[in-house]
Amino acid sequence: MHGKQSFSERFRSKPENAAKAAAETAARTKSRVKRSDHYYVKLHIAHLVQLIEMRDPVAFMLFDILLGESFARRGQPFELPIHALRQMPGLRSRTRLRSRLRDLERRGLISILARGAPRPMLIKVPLSL
User: How much is the mean pLDDT over the chain?
Assistant: 81
- Per-residue model confidence as pLDDT tens digits over 35-48: 777 777 888 898 99
pLDDT of residue 42: 83
Domain boundaries, the chain: 45-124
pLDDT (average), residues 90-112: 90
Query: What would the pLDDT profile of 86-100 be if each residue is shown by its tens digit?
Result: 888 888 888 888 899
45-124, CATH topology level? Arc Repressor Mutant, subunit A (1.10.10)
Tell me which of 120 and 28 has the higher pLDDT.
120
Q: Model pTM greater than 0.85? A: no
Q: What is the per-residue pLDDT for 32? A: 62
What is residue 129's predicted lDDT score, i.e. its pLDDT? Answer: 56
- Going by the DSSP 8-state scheme, the letter that residue 129 receives in this structure is -
Please choose, from the candidates 88, 107, 106, the residue with its C-alpha nearest in 3D space to the C-alpha of residue 97: 88
